[in-house]
Structure 1
Amino acid sequence: MHSPDLPVPPPFMWACPRCTALLVDIADAVTMSTFSDLYEGTLRCQMMLASHLAHEHLAEVPEPHEDCERCDFYRKCTGSQGIDDLWAEHRARELFLPKSVARLL
Structure 2
Amino acid sequence: MARKQPESVILQAVRNALTLDGYDVTRHQQGLGSRKVFPDLTALKDGRTLYVEIKTATGKQSPYQVEFQRVCEAHGGVYILARSVDDIKPYLTRIQSMF
TM-score scaled by length of structure 2: 0.28
Q: Which has the higher strand share?
A: 2
TM-score scaled by length of structure 1: 0.27
- Structure with the bigger RCO (C-alpha within 8 Å, sep 6+) is 1
Q: Which has the higher helix share?
A: 1
